[in-house]
Chains A and B, each alone.
Chain A
Amino acid sequence: MKVRRILWIVLAVAALAAGASQVLFLTRYPYFRKYAAQNGISLREARKVWGHPNEVSETAMGMAVEASLENWQAVAALAKEDRRSEVGTYYYNLSNAMYGQLADKLLDYYQPFERGLFLPVGEHSSPFVIGCASDVWFALGDMSLAERDAMLGMLFSPAHTGSRYLRRLAETNLVKGDYEAASKYLRILLNSPRDRKWAQVRLPDAWNPGYRMLIDEKRAKLPRFDLVHGMDQVQYTLRVLLNSNPSNKMALDYLLCYDLLTKDLDAFVADYVPSLTHSKLYEEAMLIFLAAKGGMAPDNFAHYQISQETLSRFNQFVTIYKRDNGSGKNLTEEFGKTYWYYFYYAVRNENH
């Protein structure tokens, strides 16, 4: 009798310990659970596939989860906690872009060249990275690439499904007006308790004025003509978006930042339209170009909206650069977050 009582007590303590451990786990890694749910797998399966989470993966999953819910402030907050990862930069840039601050804040943060703007989708990309790649295209208005990356995200997800991908697939097709394709995904989502409410308001005959306006805004950004392009021709794709809709400022900023992060100043100058977007970053880039091409003239400063302050700082930068024979050691503190510093000293990590 006594043994049995002890056994019950041991079992109860074990159950309590297991429960407490689970609560502790979920408190510490809430995004791990949410990201697992978005991928249609249980916590147990998620641990099996992805291993035990840590702070780095928790932050990355957090950004992915919050971005899929379009909680951009939360994404920005999480990006600040990131440990210099490409995904961290990608979401940092995207959250800034949602507030029209992509260029202004670009160099305040780690920038792994263009890979912080558009995540690489290729044979060496991790399933997690692929699963995040759709977000920027959806925000920019390229539904073809948003759909492609969502489809690939689902393809490489553990269960080959998941609401984060199905929702994106439904929505890209709603924006394109392809209700037949959208209805396939909406039906699947309607039959998932987690996604039912989300899907119900997106049924084409149930749109409220707010959602209709959102779709209309997205539709305004769609390419208006068809061009067949390579799978990863980012500049080309952005130019198609801009040719279709020159007021797509986000696409223009992404294009200009892409040009600058790849140090393609010729492309930057060709793409830059000062009347449509402006940033100190662009002023700094233009000064490098103008100095190299002998164009340091007041007319050009006026045309490219280069302020006297930026011009003075550029002259300071050049003076120190020449004095130190190109060494950047005395430039880091004062100019470390300028495009001039990036242009001369940022080195591509060839391991990526």
Chain B
Amino acid sequence: MLCGTRIIDRAWTVLAALLLLLACGRTPDLRPVGEGTDRTAPVFPDYRDVTVPCNIAPLNFYYTDPEASRFVTTFTSAGTTVKVRGRDVVWKKKAWARILSTGADVEVLSEYKTPSGPMSFRWTVHVSADAIDPYLTYRLIEPGFEVWDDLEIIERNLDSFDAKPISDWRNTKNKCMNCHIHAQGRGDLSMFYLRGEGGGAILNRGGTLRKLTLRDSSMISPTVYGEIHPKGRFGVFSTNIIIPAMHSYGNRRMEVFDTASDLCVADFDGNRMMTFPDFARLDTFETFPVFSADGQYVFYCTAPAKSLPAEIEHIGYSLVRIPFDAETGTLVNQVDTIWSATERGLSVCHPKASPDGRWLLFTVADYGTFPINHRECDLRMLDLRTGEVLTLEEVNADKSDTYHSWASDSKWFVFASKRGDGMFGKPWFSHVSEDGTVTKPFLLPQRDPHFYDSMTRSFNVPDLGNASVGFDAAEIGRVWREVPAEVFD
């Protein structure tokens, strides 16, 4: 009788345990993992031996080996030890703050059991005393083909997991919106485009929002790529006739090219667009203009016009520099070639000057101006003091690495990389020291370590800001609906 009662009790216990397990949900299936997949490292995100800023949000991660069990992770930093059990390593806020507060590197010991025996390895999270700008903006977009639906631009707080849309489809009737950029990492000086009816360039200067029609009758298109001058009065832009096309073979998928492109300058104070015959020639393409840190020059990419798409593989963009008259907003036709595509055999995109004037970060690819699907697309960093070009092996991966931006103190940069699955761009951060040493980049941490497993949108044009932009999607919705676009002529 007693025995029977015990059996019933045990049965209830087992049943309760089973119910509890069911209630907790299934353990995620982590396969496929290993060589040839998008999960090659034993931890994801791979935070082994990365350098992180002292103000970064907790680095949550998980172990990828689907056969392993009994995970124990021990973090030690200057006498402080934190032990976490389980496959998913999710930090408690206080524990993370405690370990970062030591100011020292974090030594990590990973231990777990695998079918072939126990496994353990040590790694380090290097903690830099250089804090990173606390805000990151990016556009979330499916890697579509020049079409969109439900777009939003997010401002993410980097020292926590807080994020808010600063412009979204809900408030703008599903309008297309292009990426948000800060001027030299400043939260109080930034812009982005809302396209289509009721849209315009949204300019944020000191928290005042304006909607601008940056086009005059002589321009081949509205402004496309560009940047705000450090003093905030002018913006330099390209105007581009952009054509999307498909690759028939391989993994480059879509190509986008210009059949015409010119440079222009917008005077935000005088509501004037300035175009220049020297930079509106039919036989030359000009695109991706940005200012030097001191605002005295404009860097941009240029190529001799070709018949496209027939000659797409032969179009190489060189990186050049011209003087900019910051009093009048004039582009001066004194072209100084910094990187010759003909000599180097690689095409340049997306130059970005560090705010301290020391570095110029840009991407190189085999050809063209749309490197996001070019696996060979890598970052390069030019030392503007010496002219030396650094190849950034620590940073670049076997997939597209591009769309970078600088922190306001020039000590960190962020870039979008398609490393791993090759389809979805994600933000990666790297530290730059005085001598140009760059560190192994780390992926933007998320509260849920499995966040990226199911994410099917790209983080497009991640851009760092030293302060919040101060507006939100509802405010942009109001500007879109109620504020008439200012005319530029």
Using CB atoms, name the residue of chain A closest to B26.
A191
A168 to chain B, nearest CB (A): 13
Which residues in B have their C-beta under 8 angstroms from that of A181? 38, 251, 421-423
Interface contact A188-B147, CB-CB below 8 Å: no
Q: Mark A158-184, 1 if CB is under 8 A from B, else 0.
A: 001100000000000000101111011
CB distance from B361 to the nearest CB of A (A): 26
Tell me whether A228 and B421 are in contact in the complex, defined as CB-CB below 8 angstroms, given that A154-B456, A203-B32 are known contacts: no
A328 within 8 A of B: no
With A155-B142, A160-B142, A181-B421 as given contacts, are A226 and B456 in contact (CB-CB < 8 Å)?
A: no
Q: Which residues of B contact A204 (CB under 8 A)?
A: 32, 36
Q: Which of B404-457 contact A (CB under 8 A)?
A: 420-424, 453-454, 456-457
A residues less than 8 Å from B26 (CB atoms) = 191
Nearest B residue (CB) for A241 = B248
**B482 to nearest A CB, angstroms?**
27
The yes or no answer to B245 lying at the interface (CB within 8 A) is yes
Specify the chain B residue showing the minimal Cβ separation from A237. B248
Alpha-carbon distance A145/B32, docked complex (angstroms): 25
B309 within 8 A of A: yes
Question: Contact between B456 and A225 (Cβ–Cβ < 8 Å)?
Answer: no
* A151 & B143 in contact (Cβ 8 Å cutoff): yes
Contact between B248 and A240, CB atoms less than 8 A apart: yes
A47 contacts the other chain (CB 8 A) = no
Q: Could you tell me the distance in whole angstroms from the C-beta of B364 to the nearest C-beta in chain A?
A: 20
Interface membership of A318, Cβ < 8 A: no
Does B209 lie at the interface of the complex (its beta carbon under 8 Å from any beta carbon of A)? no
* Those of B29-82 within 8 Å (CB) of chain A: 29-32, 36-39
- Interface size of A as a range: 35 or more
Pick from B143, B149, B421, B454: contact of A180, CB below 8 A.
B421
Q: Chain B interface mostly helix, strand, loop or mixed? A: loop
- List chain B residues, Cβ under 8 A from A237: 246, 248
Partner of B254, one of A148, A179, A196, A203: A148
Residues of chain A with a CB closer than 8 A to B423's CB: 181, 184
Given contacts A161-B456, A191-B29, contact A228 B245 (CB under 8 A): yes
Q: Mark A289-317, 1 if CB is under 8 A from B, else 0.
A: 00000000000000000000000000000
Q: How far is the CA of A123 from the CA of B39 in the complex (A)?
A: 36
Q: Does B344 interact with chain A (Cβ within 8 Å)?
A: no
Contact residue among B37, B453, B457 (Cβ-Cβ distance under 8 Å from A179): B37
Are B248 and A184 closer than 8 Å at their CB atoms?
no
Closest to A147 in B: B253
Taking CB atoms, residues of chain B closer than 8 Å to A140 are none
Within 8 A of B (CB), among A195-224: 196, 203-205, 222-224
Chain A nearest CB, measured from B320 CB (Å) = 26
Contact B39 A144 (CB under 8 A): no
Interface range, B side: 35 or more
A63 sits at the interface (CB 8 A): no
Whether A228 contacts B149 by the Cβ 8 Å rule is no
Interface pair B456/A231, CB less than 8 Å apart: no
Q: A176 contacts which chain B residues (CB < 8 A)?
A: 250-251
Which of B144, B146, B457 has the largest count of A CB atoms less than 10 A from its CB?
B144
Which chain B residue has the least Cβ–Cβ distance from A157?
A: B149
Given contacts A180-B38, A187-B31, A204-B36, contact A222 B453 (CB under 8 A): no
With an 8 A cutoff between CB atoms, is B121 at the interface? no
Q: Nearest Cβ distance between residue A195 and chain B, in whole angstroms? A: 11
Chain B residues with CB under 8 Å of A154's CB are 142, 456
Are B142 and A144 neighbours in the complex by a CB distance under 8 Å? no
* Chain A CB within 8 A of B394 CB: no
Q: With A and B bound together, what is the CA distance between A204 and B245 in angstroms?
A: 31
Q: Please, which residues of chain A bring their CB within 8 A of the CB of B28? A: 191
- Minimum CB distance partner of B250 in chain A: A226
Q: Specify which of B143, B148, B245, B250 is in contact with A231 (CB 8 Å cutoff).
A: B245
In this complex, what residue of B is CB-closest to A179?
Answer: B36
Asked if B244 is at the interface (CB within 8 A of a chain A CB), the reply is yes
B422 near A180: Cβ-Cβ < 8 Å:
yes
- Known contacts: A148-B145, A188-B454, A204-B36. The answer to whether A228 contacts B29 by CB under 8 A is no
CB closest chain-A residue, reference B150? A160
- Of B245, B249, B453, which is within 8 A of A225 by CB? B249
What distance in Å separates the Cβ of A165 from its nearest Cβ neighbour in chain B?
9
- B residues less than 8 Å from A51 (CB atoms): none
Partner of A229, one of B36, B39, B246, B421: B246
Tell whether, in the assembled complex, residue A183 and residue B453 are in contact, meaning their CB atoms are under 8 Å apart: no
Report B-chain residues with C-beta under 8 Å of the C-beta of A183.
32, 36-39, 421
Using known A-B contacts A152-B145, A231-B244, determine if residue A184 contacts B250 with beta carbons closer than 8 Å: no
Shortest A25–chain B CB gap in Å is 29
B371 to chain A, nearest CB (A): 14
Could you say which of B149, B246, B312, B420 contacts A156, with CB atoms under 8 Å apart? B149
Q: A147-B253, A186-B32, A187-B32 in contact; A180/B248 too (CB < 8 A)?
A: no
Q: Which of A151, A186, A203 contacts B145 (CB 8 A)?
A: A151
| Option from B36, B246, B249, B453 in Cβ contact (under 8 Å) with A188 | B453
Contact B255 A228 (CB under 8 A): yes
* B247 close to A (CB within 8 Å): yes
Chain A nearest CB, measured from B190 CB (Å): 27
Shortest A123–chain B CB gap in Å is: 8
Which of B32, B146, B247 sits near A226, CB closer than 8 Å?
B247
A190 interfacial by beta-carbon distance below 8 Å: yes
B residues within 8 A CB of A188? 453-454, 456
Instruction: List 20 contacting pairs A-B, 8 Å CB cutoff, sorted by A.
Output: A142-B248, A144-B249, A145-B246, A151-B144, A151-B145, A152-B147, A154-B142, A176-B251, A180-B422, A183-B38, A188-B456, A191-B28, A191-B29, A222-B249, A225-B248, A226-B247, A228-B248, A229-B309, A231-B145, A240-B248
Interface residues of chain A, those whose CB is within 8 Å of chain B, are 123, 142, 144-145, 147-148, 151-152, 154-156, 160-161, 176, 178-181, 183-184, 186-188, 190-191, 196, 203-205, 222-231, 237, 240
Q: Which residues of B contact A (CB under 8 A)?
A: 26, 28-32, 36-39, 142-150, 243-255, 309, 312, 420-424, 453-454, 456-457
Known: A180-B422, A186-B31, A230-B309. 6 other contacts (CB 8 A): A148-B145, A155-B142, A176-B250, A187-B32, A191-B29, A226-B250
